[in-house]
Structure 1
Amino acid sequence: MHRIVIVGGGAGGLELATRLGNKLGKAGRAHVTLVDRCAVHVWKPLLHEVAAGSLDTHAHEIAYAAHSHWNGFAFVHGEMTGLDRESRRVKIGPTFESEDRDAEVLPSRDLEYDTLVLALGSRTHFFGVPGAEEHAIALDTLEQAEHLRKRLLRVCLRKHAQGTGEADEAVDIAIIGGGATGVELAAELRRMEHTLKQFRLLSGSPRSAMRITLLERGDRVLPALPRRVSDTTRAILEKMSISVRVSTSVTSVRPDSVEVAGGAAIAADITIWAAGIKAPAVLASLEGLTVNHVNQVKVTRSLQSETDGNIFALGDCASCAWTADVLVPPRAQAAHQQAMFLCKALSARIEGRAVGAFTYKDHGSLVSLGSPTAVGSVAGITSTGKFFVEGFVAKLMYAALYRKHLMAVSGLRRTVFGIAAHGLGRLLAPRVKLH
């Protein structure tokens, strides 16, 4: 059978593997394999909620091994380390028992393919800022989000136990980057603060126990979205007592502070970096594949590599033209559309037909600012093609995006049961995970 290997089980990769497994794998028309370095999938746009403790990861994670069994594809646990294009083999590195790499569980392996799909997503781009990679916490993976949550709890407990006054007990948090991740995290942390006060893990003073500063190099937050969304978002954040500083460039990150252009230092017990992304470095090391300055694979309109027609790329790791001068943005909706296109395209490829060309449609963007608030612009029928939404309606639409992702990979029945189980679980537990 035709061998399709998909590397990366993010929003696009998992959806593509699920669709192909059900369409081709179960029918015996192709052997579909998904490769990922993690054992479970959590939708990346939810990681800010994991970091704030407001999302139960066990209720929202999808185990690749079980999901592959139910949906007609195979799962290989491991990290891609190289590629032999001549013999069509993907090189998979060893799997270890822990992050310390002290005990090897699985050795290095090779996977043969006829069609390879790269869906490795993106990683944080620190732009060479001194101290950023060492002292700032990123939000690329579930492990990083959990690390940030536990670090926040430890700092809050220490400050509350050792502080002698309101000034000593306040926790200083600096978030670098005013894009969707930084904005949503800032709002979610303010929501986390209320629960920590309720359970006496923070000072119950009317003053904010968390001093949150959001730093953005551009002249407004959410620079990729319409100005009205940016202005409304900033007003809501400032109403939450979040300090928003735009046109502010970070020059260095220290263990207890962030230095900005001009020499000023901002105190920070915790620094979070959400300022930019780039594709994984392994893509730049693959011989014969053309990548851009942020390691994204350059692809044609059919999502095929410019240098190898047997290799496709989608999502954040693909450099795909939208218009003559604009690339398809690194958003979950783009990965979803590309997964749907590739499901049809790879089926046609197996049958010897043309794969066609991908066309991206921008359906707008929504940003969550904590319950029950959200803002954004979505596709509409106005003269500009978009309309502005905020408040409860926007929050419902934002929640629907995640439900849509779940239905794409898990089906309607599992999604409905999952929502019901999650709702019952929230009645029996605090709003924020406290351990």
Structure 2
Amino acid sequence: MTQSVNNLDQVPAIPQIVIVGGGAGGLELAVRLGKKLGKSKKARIVLVDASPTHLWKPLLHQVAAGTMDSHADKREYFALARSHHFEFRLGRMDGLNRADKQLYLAPVLDEDGEELLPRSTLRYDTLVIALGSQTNDFGTVGARENCIMLDSPEKAERFHHLLINQCLRAQAKAPAPGQGRFTVTIIGGGATGVELAAELHMTTKILSSYGLVNFHPEKDLKIVIVDAAKRLLSMLPERVSTAVEKELRSIDVQIYANEKVVEVSKEGVKMASGTFIPSGIVVWAAGIKAPDFLKEIDGLETNRINQLVVLPTLQTTLDPAIFSIGDCAACPQGEGKPSVPPRAQAAHQQAELLAKSLIRQFSGKSLLPFVYQDYGSLVSLGNYSTVGNLMGSLASGSVFIEGTIAKLMYWSLHKHHQVAVNGWFHTWLTTWAETINRVKNPRIKLH
């Protein structure tokens, strides 16, 4: 299909490495390559993203609950590019021409729907696709129209506004007799779902202490988690799941396990068993898929959830010049084993490995194979608890942890990402600024 484009890209005199997607993996890769290849002018490093700012995706549940101000944690890509010797191109990839080594960027629109940047093309010598993932509703009737998909800062903020508005309504006017509590139903019992449930409970308790005397968290709000698996956090050890479920039940979160959602309407959630949950807000946090346009894009091999199938070197199976990392890549772990799980730690490890590989390639050396190291998982339940398991080099076997140590390790995950992107000194300054803001600002975002 012929595409009308405005080619803003000049053919460089040096090789051009284009990274599409500024998430945990893509941004860290751009920073590493910028320092090693961009600074010395050995290669031109270009990062492409549809948003001008970066926010670490595991924090979205905190943005939704209002316990973190996304504007305070976002980083500007243009500023990061200037500091780390790469270039940033604002745009959303929507096509690929492997024969000419070009990718297509859709027009960028402003807040009023007016064209800000025209459709354009971008040439590459090496292409890395790191587009992350989006929510997979599995074709459930009404899900797309009636659920908030918690997969972007904008949607997390929209959920927060709906929650605050409902709390204000409860403050202004008590529910009529028999009306019942306002219900937030979370579909998906993975880390995002359970962390959101705990943060929501904490948020509403704090809200009631800010003068909303007519709003009572226990009386006015009900939080429900629905999951098709037999237990929450089914991909993690059962001991972690049991500890999380016990903590959630202690704060009156209702759990429906082994229940498949078949329809979501404006009135609520219907399950295959016939159970119906009347709901004011429904959040879909069950399952992921790569962006739909990646499905067999220009003949590349993809799987059933649109992930690009890659070799151990992280190259796509049908084009050695195209790599993929993070949630949008189906990376093998070995014969008979599932692909590398879509976790932030996997994206970080892949970015680190691929940076070394591409630098080696410039010296005529072979690419390195990726070997995933599972260091375990941590699940934060707000101020109530943090639980998880440590694996790999961090522990002998699988070790269950909870409490203060687990909280500190969960906090350190974000700091580790900040160090990878910003360096130790900037992260140290940012941490002090966060500490000061916690003292002078409200504990939750109130608008």
What interval of TM-score do these two structures reach, taking the shorter chain for normalisation? over 0.9
User: Structure 1, residues 404-428: CA drift from partner, whole Å, max 9, x if none?
Assistant: 0000000001101111111101111
User: 2-side partners of 1:92 and 1:121: how far apart?
Assistant: 17
Distance in 1 (alpha carbons) for counterparts of 2:126 and 2:213: 53
1:38 pairs with 2:51 = yes
> Structure 1 residues 165, 203: CA separation in 2 closer, same or farther (over 3 Å shift)?
farther
Work out whether 1:423 is the aligned partner of 2:420.
no
* Pairs within 5 Å for 1:56-67: 56-67=69-80
* 2:38 aligns with one of 25, 31, 34: 25
Aligned to 1:374: 386
Q: State the AA in 2 paired with 1:269.
A: G
Correspondence for 1:174:
185
Pick aligned residue for 1:334 from 326, 343, 346: 346
* Aligned pairs, number: 433
Aligned-residue offset at 1:203: 3.5
1:272-322: CA deviation from partner (whole Å, max 9, x where unpaired): 000100000121151121000000000000000000000000000000011
TM-score (normalizing by structure 1): 0.97
* Aligned residue runs from structure 1 range 14-163, under 5 A: 14-98=27-111, 102-163=113-174
Amino acid of the structure 2 residue aligned with 1:351:
S
**In 2, Cα distance between equivalents of 1:200 and 1:70:** 44
1:432 maps onto 2:435 in alignment: no
> Structure 2 CA distance, aligned partners of 1:418 and 1:381?
29
Task: Report the equivalent of 2:7.
Answer: none
Secondary structure in 2 matching 1:190: helix
Matched, 1:186 2:197: yes
Distance 2:205 2:354 in 1: 44
Q: Secondary structure at the match of 2:264?
A: strand
Q: Distance in 1 between matches of 2:23 and 2:175?
A: 46
Structure 1 residue 400 corresponds to structure 2 residue 412? yes
8 Å Cα contact 2:222/2:253 also seen in 1: yes
Query: Using the alignment, how far apart are the partners of 2:141 and 2:313 within structure 1?
Result: 39
Q: Does 2:330 correspond to 1:319?
A: yes
- Hey, what's the Cα distance between the residues in 2 that align with 1:167 and 1:345? 64
1:219-234 matches, within 5 Å, as 219-234=230-245
Match of 1:276 among 287, 294, 300: 287
Q: Is the 8 A contact 1:166 1:203 kept in 2?
A: no
8 Å contact kept, 2:375–2:394: no
Q: Deviations over 1:318-364 (max 9, x none)?
A: 00011322110000000000000000011112222111211100000
Aligned residue number for residue 8 of structure 1: 21
- SS of 1:287's partner is helix
Query: Are the counterparts in 1 of residues 300 and 308 from structure 2 also a CA contact under 8 Å?
Result: yes
Range with bigger deviation, 387-396 or 350-359: 350-359
**Structure 1: which 5+ residue stretches go unaligned?**
none
SS of the residue corresponding to residue 116 of structure 2 reads strand
- State how far apart, in whole Å, the 2-side matches of 1:382 and 1:338 are: 19
**What do you get for the CA RMSD once the two structures are aligned?**
1.6
**Equivalent residue letter for 1:31:** R
The percent identity for this pair of structures is 44
Tell me how far apart the structure 2 counterparts of residues 32 and 143 of structure 1 sit (CA, whole Å): 28
Tell me which of 356, 378, 388 is aligned to 2:368: 356
Inter-CA distance 350–167: structure 2 relative to 1 (3 Å threshold): farther
Whether contact under 8 Å (1:380, 1:387) holds in the other structure is: no
Deviation at 1:234, TM superposition (A): 0.3
Instruction: Establish whether residue 345 from structure 1 lines up as the match of residue 357 from structure 2.
Output: yes
Instruction: Give 5+ residue unaligned stretches, structure 2.
Output: 1-13
Change beyond 3 A, Cα 1:382–1:428: closer
Q: C-alpha distance in 1, partners of 2:157/2:180?
A: 23
CA positional deviation for 1:58: 2.1
**In structure 1, what is the Cα distance between the partners aligned to 2:352 and 2:266?**
44
Q: Is the 8 A contact 2:358 2:367 kept in 1?
A: yes
TM normalised by structure 2 equals 0.94
C-alpha distance in 1 between matches for 2:59 and 2:90: 23
Distance 1:201 1:104, change over 3 A: farther
Distance 1:247 1:364, change over 3 A: same
Measured against aligned partners, the alpha-carbon deviations of 1:11-46 in whole angstroms (never above 9, x if no partner) come to: 000000000001110011110000000010000000
SS of the aligned residue for 2:320 comes to coil
Return the alpha-carbon distance in structure 2 between the equivalents of residues 348 and 113 of structure 1.
Answer: 18
**Conserved in 2, the CA contact under 8 Å of 1:176 and 1:272?**
yes
Deviation at 1:209, TM superposition (A): 2.8
1:253 and 2:264 aligned: yes
Q: 1:364 & 1:417 partners in 2: Cα distance?
A: 29
Deviation, 1:386, is: 1.4
Distance 1:380 1:186 in 2: 29
Partner of 2:11 in structure 1? none
